[in-house]
Chain A
Amino acid sequence: MFSLLSRTIRELLQRRRANREVEEELQFHLEMEINANVVRGLSAADARRQALADLGGVAQTTEAVRGVRASWIDSISQDVRFALRVLRRGGTGWLAMAMLALAIGITAAMFTVVDALLLRTAPFQNPDELAFVYLGNDHGGPNAVAPAVLRAWKQSGVFAAVEAANRSTAVVEMNGSIMTRGLAQVTPGVFEMLRGVRPVKGRLFDTSDGRSGTDDRILISEDMWRDVFGRDPDTIGKSVLIDGKPLVVIGILPAEFRFPSASTVIWRASSFDDPKGTRPVVYVRFRTDLPRADAERIATTAARSADSVTATANRYLRVQPLRGTLLDEYSERAIPLLGGGVVLVFFVLCANVSSLLLARFTARQREFAMRSALGASRARLLRQALVESGLIGILAILAGAGTAWILVALARAFLPEAFLLGTLNPLNLDLRALAVTSAAGVVATAAAGLLPAWIGTRVQRDSPLRVSDRGGTETRAARALARMLLVAELALACTLLTGATLLIRSFVNLANADRGLDPEGIVVARLSVLIPELKGDGARESLARSLEDEVRSLPAVQQMAWSYGLPPGGGAMSFGEWHSDLAGAPALDMVVDRYWVGPEFFSMLDIPILRGRTFAPEDSSNDVVVGERFAAALWPGLDPLGHSFTFVKERFRVIGVAREINYPTLETRRDSPEFYEQFKGVGRYAMAMASIRCAGPCPDPALIRQRLGRVHAAVRVDSVRPLVDSYIEELARPRSAAAVGFAFAAIAVLAAAGGLFSVLSYAVRRRRREFGIRSALGASSSQLAGVVVRDSVTVSLAGLCAGGLASWWIARGLTSLQYGVSATDPVSCAVVISLLAITVALASWWPAKEAMRSDPVSLLRGE
């Protein structure tokens, strides 16, 4: 093997010399022959003529010797040169290559996205040993545990590692600018638990960090180092104002490190040992030598003895494996479907490449027949065809890798944050995706090249050479294959178009859905309030006043309202039995959004009070305003004013009915009925939301955040953002799903149209003679066009039928992503069918016109 290779290489290098030597050798032979003739007594001229005649063609012999000496590399390189020459002539080759490149590019890019978002595990060592744990019952429970529980678990040794990581956001002040960044409060050992984390600069936390006196130490990510510090090499040891406090940077973590959430860029050391302080969110690494069930049991016992609430509420250890992704349900459903969509697009494009190559090889049958007549074996022709499609494949793989790279860069730039920040894995075109690109390329080339090559090279030696048969004939197999590919293409395009139409209609419905309130021009500040720090008479009232003064002093602020809980879907989820005061009415089991709101709340958010009134200061805490849906459920058909209901032993009296507010979301269970209680004041709840309506543009959220954050040590600002963002956020994923679906469908429809067009016009060109004769025999031009149209309609109908079945199936698969559209939506059906009909009509228009133009005279002149 090696010697063969080395000889091949040597021969390649010495080819020029070897060729010269062959010529020299034959020249020597010629001269010897001439000499011999001269010796025999011929004149010099006769001797030469005689010798040349005896020899036969010197050139042919040289070629024959070269043919013997030529290695396979020679003949392949000849094939490649020939293929390049054919490709340079332009036409369908480039089109096929571009389509294949597109197919490979989209597939690889989509694979990268699906891989990063869904398939890949958390980017840490032995990720299946890692888990997020909390204490709860079958319905779930709070994320965080008591500090005592964390301590108990650490002491019990039941886990290989127990660490805490609480994520939040923080205001960062640097050189006079204010910005918000993701922050995580972590126990120092968290990096050791994840394993394999190395700082880019400085050091990680050690056990001495995070205690009082050393809890001002932070690590920052490379991204933040770049954005905020401009990659200043002396960043280590510098302090930066975070939430108003100077914190010291002791290390920089690589940009790829994402934990506990993808948006975390600041890590602050904390030991979580203050029993009244922040409750830790716990992550563990399980021991490999202890069965999970035992570990969970021991951990539950330890937690119950450390914390009385866990014991009384009968909570147990609940484990959530730490996956690479923290996707919501929508993305989890949408991404595999979009992945399926890209596979369909891949098939459409491959079918198209296949039919293009098929047409290309069939059109060149004369060339193949000629070469076959000159002595080329079928294997030789097949190899030529394969080299040609292989060359197209290789160029397509290269172009496809480039396309994939660009698409991933675009995805990184334009995918909604909800997608991108849902994964702990950074979105990079990785080696695996590139491997898949190449594999996809090989499959596509084989699929696109092999069959056409096989059929295209099946040459009847005599028939295509007949001059009268201009342009060659299409074999029956090639014709059947081309039609089948077209039917498949149209069916897939129909399927993708149906899916995209449903996604787009869902998005439009979602975007236009009635929210029941007006979120425009409202900014919401969410505050955490440390209630125990508000001691003394009037502390709460004065806090509320100073917060309100602070807000009102901001420019453009018009109105503000307090609440605990805020739409959309942000109320306290209350589920259980609701008893109305109607005699004999059964208890209702439902989930209700419960809000505590100030009296201005309704007018500010533009929620009309339909009956009764909003709150007044003298109302008791049991006076409530209910939403329409809630009222209709408890008092169907009756006026709820003055009625009362009981929930968890508490009795409420209805003083008003507000218009129903909706939460347009695909997860319908998140849109619950609601009722409102009176907001009792800042400091009565662990959180408070200040809704601020502005005249004109609202102040910068970071500014609002900074002003409110410095009012009181007991108040921490969790976030400040426009209310409309919550709604837009809910739209972001359906919008990108619809956009991606639309792009796929557009590519598929264009490809199918292109395929139909090329096959039909190729058929027309091939049958020009037939059309000419028909026209000479008196066929009208519309009859000729009818032939083409019939061809196109047959194929299209077959494609639509197959596509209809597939569409029905895909529409059912998409049910969970639909909003206000059913799988059998007539509008969507009509849209799909008319779009496809227009496409088919446009694709057959030119070929039909071409057929009508068949001129018998010019055709016969060509005979």
Chain B
Amino acid sequence: VPKTEYLQGALDLLILKTLALAPNHGWGIQQRISQVSRESLSVSQGSLYPALHRLEAAGLLSSEMTASDNNRRARVYRLTAAGRRRLETEAEDWREFSLAIRRLLQQN
């Protein structure tokens, strides 16, 4: 199911949207994205983790190391206020963009 070329631009949006529902760790985010998209979208960890750290450095996410099941510490990410605002604008942009594409494809 490799549709990663489309994914690249949308990855940030996917992460932000996933975290808007609840704070989660990297594996959880990955699972969540593939579940919600019914396995049509899969994010490799090679793209996910750099993106998470980039968004955190940009102040859209915050994170902390928390104790988790089976005695391991996990890094849990949550959305910041800035992240929430960014999610709204990005979602709006995406909607406009996909609407434009759909209109284009519905010609003829």
A174: CB under 8 A from chain B?
Answer: no
Which of A22, A26, A32, A69 is close to B57, meaning CB atoms less than 8 Å apart? A69
In the assembly, what is the distance between CA of A22 and CA of B30, in Å?
17
In the assembly, what is the distance between CA of A61 and CA of B44, in Å?
10
B3: CB under 8 A from chain A?
Answer: no
| Residues on A with beta carbons closer than 8 Å to the beta carbon of B54 | 68
B26: CB under 8 A from chain A?
Answer: yes
In the assembly, what is the distance between CA of A376 and CA of B44, in Å?
24
Q: Is the CB of B57 within 8 A of A61?
A: no
Q: How many residues of A contact B (CB 8 A)?
A: 22
Q: Is the CB of A31 within 8 A of B70?
A: yes
Question: Residues 15-32 of chain A: 1 if any B CB is under 8 Å from the residue's CB, otherwise 0?
Answer: 000000110111111011
Question: Residues 37-60 of chain B: 1 if any A CB is under 8 Å from the residue's CB, otherwise 0?
Answer: 000000011100110011001000
Q: Is the CB of A32 within 8 A of B27?
A: yes
Interchain Cβ contacts under 8 Å between A and B, 9 examples: A22-B53, A25-B49, A25-B74, A26-B49, A29-B30, A57-B46, A61-B50, A68-B57, A69-B53
Q: Closest Cβ of chain A: how far from B68's Cβ, in Å? A: 7
Given contact pairs A29-B49, A31-B70, A65-B50, enumerate 14 new A-B contacts (beta carbons under 8 Å).
A24-B65, A24-B73, A25-B26, A28-B27, A28-B68, A28-B72, A28-B74, A29-B27, A33-B27, A55-B44, A56-B46, A61-B50, A67-B50, A68-B50
Q: Is the CB of B72 within 8 A of A61?
A: no
Q: Is the CB of A21 within 8 A of B75?
A: yes
| Residues on B with beta carbons closer than 8 Å to the beta carbon of A779 | none
A-binding residues in B (CB < 8 A): 25-27, 30-31, 44-46, 49-50, 53-54, 57, 65, 68, 70, 72-75
Q: Is the CB of A29 within 8 A of B26?
A: yes
In the assembly, what is the distance between CA of A21 and CA of B77, in Å?
14
Q: Is the CB of A29 within 8 A of B73?
A: no
Specify the main secondary structure of chain A where it touches its partner: helix
In the assembly, what is the distance between CA of A122 and CA of B93, in Å?
72
| Residues on A with beta carbons closer than 8 Å to the beta carbon of B57 | 68-69
In the assembly, what is the distance between CA of A68 and CA of B53, in Å?
7
A67's closest neighbor in chain B, by CB?
B50
| Residues on A with beta carbons closer than 8 Å to the beta carbon of B30 | 29
A42: CB under 8 A from chain B?
Answer: no
In the assembly, what is the distance between CA of A590 and CA of B54, in Å?
91
Closest 3 pairs between A and B when the two form their complex, measured CB to CB: A32-B27, A64-B50, A68-B53
Interface centre among B30, B49, B65, B70 (most CB of A within 10 A): B49
Which of A21, A27, A55, A60 is close to B65, meaning CB atoms less than 8 Å apart? A21
Specify the main secondary structure of chain B where it touches its partner: helix
Q: Is the CB of A65 within 8 A of B74?
A: no
Interface centre among A21, A25, A61, A64 (most CB of B within 10 A): A25
| Residues on B with beta carbons closer than 8 Å to the beta carbon of A36 | 31
Which of B25, B44, B49, B70 is close to A65, meaning CB atoms less than 8 Å apart? B49
| Residues on A with beta carbons closer than 8 Å to the beta carbon of B49 | 22, 25-26, 29, 61, 64-65
Question: Residues 405-429 of chain A: 1 if any B CB is under 8 Å from the residue's CB, otherwise 0?
Answer: 0000000000000000000000000
In the assembly, what is the distance between CA of A57 and CA of B49, in Å?
12
In the assembly, what is the distance between CA of A443 and CA of B26, in Å?
50
Q: Is the CB of A55 within 8 A of B45?
A: yes
Q: Closest Cβ of chain A: how far from B25's Cβ, in Å? A: 7
Interface residues of A in 39-93 (CB under 8 A from B): 55-57, 60-61, 64-65, 67-69
| Residues on A with beta carbons closer than 8 Å to the beta carbon of B68 | 28
Which of B25, B26, B44, B73 is close to A56, meaning CB atoms less than 8 Å apart? B44
Q: Closest Cβ of chain B: how far from A65's Cβ, in Å? A: 5
Interface centre among B50, B57, B68 (most CB of A within 10 A): B50
A21-B65, A31-B72 given; A61·B45 CB < 8 A: yes
In the assembly, what is the distance between CA of A55 and CA of B70, in Å?
21
In the assembly, what is the distance between CA of A25 and CA of B31, in Å?
15
| Residues on B with beta carbons closer than 8 Å to the beta carbon of A31 | 70, 72
Q: Is the CB of B75 within 8 A of A60?
A: no
In the assembly, what is the distance between CA of A478 and CA of B70, in Å?
63
In the assembly, what is the distance between CA of A362 and CA of B16, in Å?
48
In the assembly, what is the distance between CA of A69 and CA of B57, in Å?
7
Q: Closest Cβ of chain B: how far from A40's Cβ, in Å? A: 13
In the assembly, what is the distance between CA of A384 and CA of B26, in Å?
35
